[in-house]
Chains A and B, each alone.
Chain A
């Protein structure tokens, strides 16, 4: 349903992505793992056209585009099929929670105001924020803001939602509520690609996992398989470093 092939990206002399390819089926939850600087975030940002890749193609459903040369029209078309959850939430500061969700529906997807309100309500209820409709971002905790952001991303019914380290900016005690929200979506069968450092969460929720290092995919496969029987030595080292302390969590 989503396939990405041969993505290259360099910032000056620094080659961040060196030919990354992967594909995602409907209902997949793909966790992209890797230490910082491995290019995971850049990859995701290239797929949403926030960074212009030097080379590569993306295909979502029947829509295909070159990541380097895609026209504005094409980019817009693809963005309507996806949505994005940011590390630092990026809620619209001038809109309250429900307006944040509505805006993408009414403006971005041409949904009527009445219908948008209804969808927005439902999305916010789904992330457990039924009592925060008219709160502005500045009045919400980090965890609540991120849940509004997830509701906003969910409401437009995208084919796939990209998550860029959705819990990295949160205080430790707020991480749980956001992960729980994402797990709920996973159970509902929402297709997601998640860049994360939360290894235990990735192991438990993801259906597929991708391990990246230095701009290339070292290993990818079924999440259970990759976590329990990694084929590559580098993957094994990475996992052991991260999972040691988490063994008791299941």
Chain B
């Protein structure tokens, strides 16, 4: 055995110090994706003519390409696109002062949005149209029915899938190092590279992910049990 466990123990707290970055990446990307994904899901559900066609093409494109490729595109094309946009809009801003983490938010949201859109649409489709009609019949507007009756039910149905998507996102956040964001994986890379102890530093990351994901799953489970009573009692 050639593994330096002492190094693992020493490195662990250092790597752990970067966990907040991983969490930030996850929370921000999940929030963005939830908002946009839900909008996409609703547009697809309602089969809005041109918009749903465009969204479906986008979804197919993202599902059809490796996430690494999406990261490449953002890495090489993002700053260029922003420069163009800033020039057009006459904004005086230095594109290169934008922190890499913002690009990572975008990169991680691209694919998470697609997964969420699919999960929520499936949730919406599982709801009986009578739920809509009864809301309208007591004088609520379509929007009121949507937010008080339809979306809460759609999200309940989609909850387990959303949990899987969240776990997937935590795992994907490990790719942010490709955009030079220093989160736990990125730091382990730097640390391991400095002393050529890659394996040991990645072992630290491995343990952290396992614990973080276990905790996430427990929280999701707990929320499902407490918040979403009506489903549980159905059984």
Contacts and interface: CB of A to CB of B under 8 A. Distances in A.
Q: Is the interface of B mostly helix, strand, loop or mixed?
A: helix
Interface in A104-156: 104-105, 107-109, 136-139, 149, 152-153, 156
A92 B152 CA distance: 10
A156 B139 contact: yes
Nearest to B142: A72
A94 B150 CA distance: 9
B133 A136 contact: no
A93 B130 CA distance: 11
B131 interface: yes
A88 interface: yes
B199 to A, nearest CB: 49
A98 B153 CA distance: 18
Contact of B135 (A49, A92, A105, A136): A92
Contacts of A153: 137-138
A247 B86 CA distance: 84
Given A92-B131, A93-B131, A79 B152 contact: no
Contacts of A138: 230, 233-234
B140 interface: yes
A84 B139 CA distance: 10
Given A107-B144, A107-B148, A138-B230, A90 B138 contact: no
Contacts of A50: 133, 136
Contacts of B138: 83, 103-105, 108-109, 152-153, 156
Interface string B135-159: 1111111001000110011001000
Interface residues of A, number: 32
A226 interface: no
Interface string A142-174: 000000010011001000000000000000000
B230 A90 contact: no
Interface in A42-95: 48-50, 76, 79-80, 82-84, 86, 88, 90-95
Interface of A: 48-50, 76, 79-80, 82-84, 86, 88, 90-96, 103-105, 107-109, 136-139, 149, 152-153, 156
Interface of B: 128, 130-131, 133-141, 144, 148-149, 152-153, 156, 229-230, 233-234
